Structure 1
Amino acid sequence: MAITTCIFDAYGTLFDVAAAARNAAAEPGREGFRDHWPAIAEHWRLKQLQYTWLRAITGHHTDFWQVTQDGLDWALEAEGLGGDADLRERLLQLYWELEAFPEVPAMLRALKEAGKTTAILSNGSPDMLDGAVQSAGIGDLLDDVLSVESVGVFKPAHVVYDLVGNRFGCAKSEVLFVSSNGWDAAAAAGYGFRTAWVNRAGQPMDRLPATPDTTLNDLTGIPEIAA
């Protein structure tokens, strides 16, 4: 069955999650942060994801903004910066203004010109996602933005992936699901979506029951896969 619907994870897939720490380090007066920002960005993202999984397993759901703050607090403390309230506030502010990866607008535009439905399916809370979409200027290239908050559990719970069919009325085989998270792409493949893993960092494949159908270095090849 032909692909009619292209669904994208948001953070790390369309939006560069390292941009907040990188941009903060480039600001005047934050020269002392420049040696810390790569570790902060890496630990922040890892803890953010770990906290979503742990909350899903234990049934203690909260919104993505809370786990984003919790992950940052852990990362700052790990780097000996836990007492810098001004830095914390600035990093959180910048997270609402994440940059899209350079190829994103052209890729989405090509999909729309080809008649494909395009949407985000994300752990992000609706207000966070709206901020990121508006900051990146891609709102007119998306048909919808779907958040896990409507079901109260984080990915990779199957009820999250159910949101796509419920919203667009498409069969699983009509969906191309795209994520930079190997575990997310694998879970979506096991669910029944056709999947593409955007492996920007060249990481090994996760050892999970299912594997992504396609692995890419960036998003430029998505329109061809979806054709």
Structure 2
Amino acid sequence: MPITTCIFDAYGTLFDVSGAARIAAQEIGDDSFTKVWSRVANDWRLKQLQYTWLRAITGDHTNFWQVTQDGLDWALEASGQSDPALRERLLQLYWELPAYVEVHKMLIRLKAAGMATGILSNGSPDMLDGAVQSAGLADVLDAVLSVEDVGIFKPDARVYDMVGKAFGCAKEQVLFVSSNGWDAAAASGYGFTTAWVNRNGEPQDRLPGSPAHILSDLTNIPDLVA
């Protein structure tokens, strides 16, 4: 079957999750944070992901905003940062994460080619709406799907089931794109054609599924479905 539907993970795939800490470091000009912002960003993202996995395993679901706050609190403490104003600013910026530079043009090309486009994310609906509106992507996305509709985080298969239900397509008609190797692997095992956006040149995860495509950014996604 030909690909008819292109679905994207949100955080780290369309939106730069390091953006909040980077922008805050530029704004605040505090040497203590400027020196550690990159570490904070990395730890924040890692803990955010780890907490989603652990909550999925234990069945102790909460929304992604709570997980995001918990991950940030761990990251700030690990780097010796205790300023409440800094925490508040970082959380505010997370609702306005910048899209990667190639995202809008890439989505325009997909729409011009007749593709259905959407997001499938762990993010809460209000968080995703904030990011999409801030980045100006609402006009090039047909749907924004949140795991809150099924009450469990990726990579549970019930999350990937949402795509077929929302778009009325078969698994074989979906190209699923993620910057998370584990997400691309799980989606491959589920039955999607997948593209892993490996911006940092990381090794491939040792998991049962393997992405069909490995890219350094999103620019060539339309070429995969042309």
Give me the TM-score of the superposition, normalised by structure 2.
0.99
Question: What is the match of residue 188 of structure 2?
Answer: 189
**Number of positions where the alignment pairs a residue of Structure 1 with one of Structure 2:** 226
Cα pair 1:3 1:226 within 8 Å, conserved: yes
Question: What is the match of residue 77 of structure 1?
Answer: 77
Matched ranges for 1:1-227 at <5 A: 1-81=1-81, 83-227=82-226
SS at 2:27 equivalent: coil
- Cα distance in 2, alignment partners of residues 156 and 89 from structure 1: 30
SS at 2:145 equivalent: strand
What one-letter code is carried by the residue in structure 2 that aligns with 1:134?
Answer: Q
Q: CA 1:48 to 1:172, structure 2 compared with 1: closer, same or farther past 3 Å?
A: same
Q: Which runs of 4+ in 1 moved over 6 A?
A: none
Q: 5+ residue gaps in structure 2?
A: none
What one-letter code is carried by the residue in structure 2 that aligns with 1:223?
Answer: P
SS at 2:47 equivalent: helix
- Cα distance in 2, alignment partners of residues 214 and 146 from structure 1: 23
Identity %: 72
What one-letter code is carried by the residue in structure 2 that aligns with 1:226?
Answer: V
Q: 5+ residue gaps in structure 1?
A: none
What one-letter code is carried by the residue in structure 2 that aligns with 1:3?
Answer: I
RMSD: 0.6
Q: Deviation at 1:29?
A: 4.0
- Cα distance in 1, alignment partners of residues 59 and 121 from structure 2: 18
- Cα distance in 2, alignment partners of residues 138 and 55 from structure 1: 30
Deviations 1:160-216 (A, max 9, x none): 000000011101000000000000000000000000000001000000011100000
What one-letter code is carried by the residue in structure 1 that aligns with 2:4?
Answer: T
- Cα distance in 2, alignment partners of residues 176 and 30 from structure 1: 43
Q: Deviation at 1:31?
A: 3.5
- Cα distance in 2, alignment partners of residues 84 and 40 from structure 1: 13
